[in-house]
């Protein structure tokens, strides 16, 4: 029977740990996806000559422009890990000390790599994709190869669920039916040829690929559980952002631009690399209803130092699910709006700068809860971990012998790999 249409019920997004990834354990499904758009554009130059009106050829001079953008509801940082971002989970957000593994949120995207592959899987008409069954010949798969993130943004506003938007640039695109081995959409950036390695299988789509956090499945986070801490910026703004009688925050937007420049050379059809354009300047914008002001002097603000800003979001149990920290922040603008019939409002913009992959003093940082229990579809039985309370430290583990973990059959971790790739492999090994 012919298909009439495709709706959200039938689609899902799966992302690889790297462009050359082939095993199912090297791929993860994104959760809570709300929209997905993808396209390609071929840039051609006509060849004309005297004596003929019509062109005699149309030659491709530049590599095709392939793009993917999608949005999803923010949860506990699972999608961010899948996308190669560094999410700190050593207890720093619950009042513990910062662990030695703390790193810049964008550290995995600041080093040279071949990108990731994105797959859009579509099930037959009228059938839910997230049914926990293997992708078969009835499903179709569109792959976008060698994808690099060019923009990451978070929108937190009254009346809307916290949402993340991601834009990626790719190099190639293919389409095929599911079932059995799949042809990789990636290309070799050395010579521009399509990779000949095949993908053994993609993971079976499920409703919550990220498992559970603190024994609770996070369906979505709520705007009423967002906490914005601008305490370090107090005194540098006219609007009062701390203490009693503060401005009533209506929305917060965090943007991390990672624009890239394709580097080409003679002899290849595709860029041999896509490098990040430095400096990288993340921004955080705030809109609020005015309440009160305090003493401030712009002349003094011009000489002020850098500050830190924290945005935390709790889950339904009151436990902080995720936190964004911008370090090295400076105020860029503060504007007011007032008119008859409307509340007086203030808009503030702050900016920072991103340091190197190991720089923990400047840039964007993301944290998630220390205690995590995964119950995803491709994970074997694991010991349950204690659930911390919002007002106390996580309870001490019972003095019971800890079972010896089963050795992973996944790929071994190469010390020379970037941190984001190591973390992706570790994630896959934990779920086996």
User: Which pLDDT belongs to residue 387?
Assistant: 39
Query: pTM score, two decimals?
Result: 0.80
User: Which pLDDT belongs to residue 178?
Assistant: 76
User: Which pLDDT belongs to residue 248?
Assistant: 87
User: Which pLDDT belongs to residue 189?
Assistant: 81
User: Which pLDDT belongs to residue 380?
Assistant: 33
User: Which pLDDT belongs to residue 234?
Assistant: 60
User: Which pLDDT belongs to residue 175?
Assistant: 93
User: Which pLDDT belongs to residue 394?
Assistant: 44
User: Which pLDDT belongs to residue 377?
Assistant: 34
Q: Which residues of the chain have pLDDT under 70?
A: 1, 90-102, 211-216, 231-235, 238, 240, 242-246, 294-297, 299-305, 369-432
φ, ψ dihedrals at 15, nearest 5° = -125, 140
User: Which pLDDT belongs to residue 242?
Assistant: 65
User: Which pLDDT belongs to residue 194?
Assistant: 83
User: Which pLDDT belongs to residue 111?
Assistant: 83
């Amino acid at each position: 029977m012919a298909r009439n249409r495709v709706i959200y019920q039938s689609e899902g997004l799966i992302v690889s740990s790297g462009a050359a990834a082939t095993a199912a354990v090297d791929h993860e499904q994104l959760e809570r996806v709300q929209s997905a758009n993808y396209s390609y554009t071929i840039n051609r130059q006509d060849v004309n000559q005297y004596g003929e009106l019509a062109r005699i050829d149309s030659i491709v001079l530049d590599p095709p422009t392939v793009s993917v953008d999608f949005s999803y509801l923010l949860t506990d940082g699972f999608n961010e890990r899948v996308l190669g971002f560094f999410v700190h989970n050593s207890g720093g957000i619950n009042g513990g000390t910062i662990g030695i593994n703390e790193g810049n949120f964008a550290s995995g995207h600041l080093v040279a790599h071949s990108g990731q592959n994105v797959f859009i899987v579509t099930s037959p008409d009228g059938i839910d994709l997230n049914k926990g069954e293997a992708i078969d010949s009835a499903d179709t798969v569109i792959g976008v190869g060698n994808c690099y993130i060019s923009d990451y943004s978070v929108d937190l506003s009254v009346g809307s669920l916290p949402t993340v938007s991601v834009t990626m640039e790719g190099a190639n695109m293919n389409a095929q039916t599911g079932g059995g081995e799949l042809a990789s959409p990636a290309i070799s950036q050395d010579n521009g040829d399509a990779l000949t390695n095949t993908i053994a299988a993609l993971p079976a789509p499920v409703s919550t690929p990220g498992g559970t956090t603190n024994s609770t499945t996070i369906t979505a986070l709520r705007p009423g559980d967002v906490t914005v801490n601008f305490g370090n910026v107090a005194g540098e703004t006219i609007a009062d952002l701390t203490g009693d009688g503060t401005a009533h925050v209506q929305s917060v937007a965090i943007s991390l631009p990672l624009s890239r420049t394709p580097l080409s050379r003679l002899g290849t059809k595709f860029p041999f690399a896509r490098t990040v354009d430095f400096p990288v300047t993340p921004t955080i914008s705030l809109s609020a209803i005015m309440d009160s002001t305090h003493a401030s002097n712009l002349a003094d603000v011009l000489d002020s130092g850098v500050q830190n800003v924290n945005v935390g979001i709790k889950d339904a149990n009151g436990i902080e699910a995720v936190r964004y920290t911008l370090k090295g922040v400076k105020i860029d603008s503060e504007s007011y709006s007032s008119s008859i019939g409307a509340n007086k409002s203030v808009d503030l913009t702050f900016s920072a700068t991103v340091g190197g992959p190991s720089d923990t003093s400047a840039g964007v940082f993301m944290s998630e809860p220390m205690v995590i229990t995964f119950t995803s579809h491709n994970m074997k039985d694991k010991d349950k971990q204690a659930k911390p309370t919002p007002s106390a430290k996580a309870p001490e583990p019972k003095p019971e012998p800890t079972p010896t973990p089963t050795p992973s059959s996944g790929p071994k971790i190469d010390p020379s790999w970037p941190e984001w790739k190591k973390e992706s492999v570790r994630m896959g090994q934990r779920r086996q």
